[in-house]
Amino acid sequence: MATKLAARLAVLIDANNAQPALTGAILTEVAKYGTAHVKRAYGDWSAISMRSWKYELLGQSIRPMQQIAYTSHKNATDSAMIIDAMDLLHAKQFDGFCLVSSDNDFTPLALRIRESGLSVYGFGHCHTPKAFMAACNKFIYVDDIVDAKQLASHAVTAPPQEHTSSITPDSHAQLGKILLDTVEHLSVETGWASLYQVELRFTMLYPNFDPGRLGYPKEFSRMVEATGLFDFDRRQDQEVLHAWCPFRDAQDKAVQPLRSL
């Protein structure tokens, strides 16, 4: 009996709209549907905010596709990814496409690929527009497939709490340690981590955390600044203001209660 060959898949990642920490879990899920013969990630890799992707690109053998942002709008990357997808589609070498993004701009692309008789697997967060999800043959929530063990290894274990559905930081010290650990994990050679990436990871790990319970501001950047653990270097990058915070060893500076802003 002839063995059925695995589907040939092209994996295209919108790096402006995806989290590098989830890449491994996503590719593991992709393997359930076929073999990823092409793995590409799209973005402006000269931007400081993209440095956290470096090790995932190398470790997962993902080809970085450079797209300079000619304007302050992010659709330059989307356009490059769509054009590449159409070139791959016309090559007629694939059985399906995996589109990693939570962006509704890829809805027409998904529909066009399906019209050609190929399967489309979408990967995104729960807030992804319904139009894009419906355009895919199957849409997978990255929140559901993330490797919990991998993420938990980078977070400080919190003590059990009664009458709660999830564990959240419940003290100034615990919050500080979690933030320090998160920044250390995301920092690159320079020792700096994108505050945006820190917020994404923290929110994913502790979605029910309420800063107000500890007296902190609701805004994530103000909460981090109020801990007094980090220095901020605000840089103007492509007309977008990025806040960066360098990792400091917890032993070098004690976690303080709330510092007024």
Spatial separation of the C-alpha atoms in residues 201 and 185, rounded to whole Å:
10
Q: Exposed, middle or buried: residue 96 (CB in 10 Å: 0-12, 13-18, 19+)?
A: buried
Residue of 118, 248, 119 lying closest to 193 (CA atoms): 248
Q: Which two tokens stand for residue 38?
A: 């092409």
Identify any residues that bridge with 243 across adjacent strands, giving them in sequence order: 234
Question: So what's the pLDDT on residue 240?
Answer: 42
Per-residue pLDDT of the chain (261 residues; tens, 9 = 90+): 444 678 999 999 999 888 888 898 899 999 999 999 999 999 888 877 788 888 889 889 999 998 876 655 457 788 899 999 999 999 999 999 999 999 899 999 999 999 999 999 999 988 889 999 999 999 999 877 764 434 444 443 333 333 333 456 667 888 888 888 777 777 655 667 777 778 877 877 777 777 877 888 888 888 888 888 877 777 655 334 445 565 554 444 444 554 444
Q: Are 94 and 40 in contact (CB under 8 A)?
A: no
Question: So what's the pLDDT on residue 8?
Answer: 96
Residue of 73, 83, 125 lying closest to 104 (CA atoms): 125
Residue of 188, 182, 167 lying closest to 52 (CA atoms): 188
In sequence order, which residues have a C-beta less than 8 Å from that of residue 159 and are 6 or more positions away? 170
Question: So what's the pLDDT on residue 92?
Answer: 93
Question: So what's the pLDDT on residue 77?
Answer: 83
Question: So what's the pLDDT on residue 212?
Answer: 78
The CA-based dihedral angle spanning residues 126, 128, 134, 135, taken in that order and rounded to the nearest 10 degrees = -140
Spatial separation of the C-alpha atoms in residues 95 and 113, rounded to whole Å:
10
